[in-house]
Amino acid sequence: MTIAVKIKNLSVTLSGDVKALKDISMELPVGRSIGFIGPSGAGKTTLIRSIVGRLKPTAGSIEVLGLPAGDAKLRDQLSYMTQELSVYPDLTVKENLRYFAIMMGHTKDTNTIIEEVLNEVDMIDKADSLVKNLSGGQKQRVSLSVALIGSPRLMVLDEPTIGLDPVLRESLWKLFNKLKTRGTTLLISSHSMDEAERCDDLILIRSGKVIAHGSPSELKKQTGTKTIEESFLSLVGGEPE
Ligand SMILES: Nc1ncnc2c1ncn2[C@@H]1O[C@H](COP(=O)(O)OP(=O)(O)OP(=O)(O)O)[C@@H](O)[C@H]1O
Ligand SMILES: [Mg+2]
């Protein structure tokens, strides 16, 4: 399989008749890091929720790893880190991970799994801390470690590095690149343009529409600019929304 996600003519209308996604199509290849980049309210989370099967499209279709989005068989092949914290503050880091590992059907060797994923995010020393007593960036890393359980083929991460310092951000990108070498596909949303430069491919989203799709260097070449931020501004070009 070479295509991880295939989206055809997807539209999503949310309550209040908000047209959050408007007829978007894309094919995302396996084994790459793909950034969904766009301003706040552009539709990144809506697109992510549609891909992971939490939102039903109003029109169009989504195929994930060869199956329809939301198919039960995708449960152990796909992980989703939400934009809001999704771990339990009154449990310790380890207790959270054990809970999620069991929920995902890993009943044996949970200690080994927990140790592995905590090592990946450099949080072993906080294994017995209550999540509510951790810093924002540490909580973020616990959420990410949950998404690493079971070595999913596709990881969908909504703003995974927001609120992290540059050193931690660097180490997470190292981890993302390591995961990619194992064939994992990463979908990462961000509104940070410098983060966009680290992705293999970018989908620039604005007002529910895809305004560009390509590698950072392709987009910069296409627009004759030096940074993705400039490319984005050039593509938007003062058009009304
Ligand atoms: N549950 C909802 N009901 C109605 N409208 C919603 C809902 N969630 C989001 N929207 C609207 O849909 C549009 C897209 O929102 P979305 O959350 O996908 O944006 P985003 O790109 O993820 O933004 P951010 O960078 O702030 O996370 C926005 O106009 C938002 O107000
Ligand atoms: Mg969002």
Give the model confidence (pLDDT) of 170-213 as tens digits: 888 999 999 999 999 999 999 888 789 999 999 999 999 999 99
pLDDT in tens, 137-153: 899 999 999 999 999 99
Report yes or no: 48 and 186 within 8 Å, Cβ to Cβ.
no
**Span 101-140, pLDDT tens digits:** 999 889 889 999 999 999 999 999 999 999 999 998 899 9
| Cβ–ligand 1 contact at 204 (below 6 Å) | no
Q: 46 C-alpha to center of ligand 1: Å?
A: 6
82 lines ligand 1 (CB under 6 A): no
Ligand 1 centroid to residue 20 C-alpha, Å? 7
Judged against a pLDDT cut of 90, whether residue 52 lies above it is answered with yes
**Residue whose CA is closest, atom 7 of ligand 1?**
14
Taking each helix axis from N to C end, the angle separating 110-120 and 136-148, rounded to the nearest 10 degrees, works out to 130
Q: What is the token pair recorded at 83? A: 């934009």
- Residue 239 has what pLDDT? 55
Say if residues 47 and 21 touch (Cβ distance below 8 Å).
Answer: yes
Pocket test for ligand 1, best of 36, 46, 188 (most atoms within 8 A of CB): 46
Percentage of the chain modeled with pLDDT above 90: 81
Give CA–CA dist 84/87, Å, rounded: 9
Average pLDDT, rounded, for the chain: 93
Read off the pLDDT band of 241 (50, 70, 90). low
Which residue's CA lies nearest to atom 12 of ligand 1? 20
| Residues near 164 by beta carbon (within 8 Å), at least 6 away in sequence | 137, 140, 172
CA of 235 to the centre of ligand 1 (A): 22
Q: Is 152 in the pocket of ligand 1 (CB under 6 A)?
A: no
Q: What is the pTM of this model?
A: 0.94
pLDDT in tens, 223-236: 999 999 999 889 88
Ligand nearest to the CA of 205: 1
Place of tokens 């279709």: 61
Q: Which residue has the tokens 């706040």?
A: 40
* pLDDT tier at 238, thresholds 50, 70, 90: low
Q: How far is CA 175 from CA 34, 119, 144, 226, in A?
A: 15, 11, 11, 27
Is 241 close to ligand 1, i.e. is its CB under 6 Å away? no
For CA atoms 206, 212, 217, 222, give the dihedral sign: negative
- Token match 């790459």: residue? 32
Q: Tell me if 41 CB under 6 Å of ligand 1.
A: yes
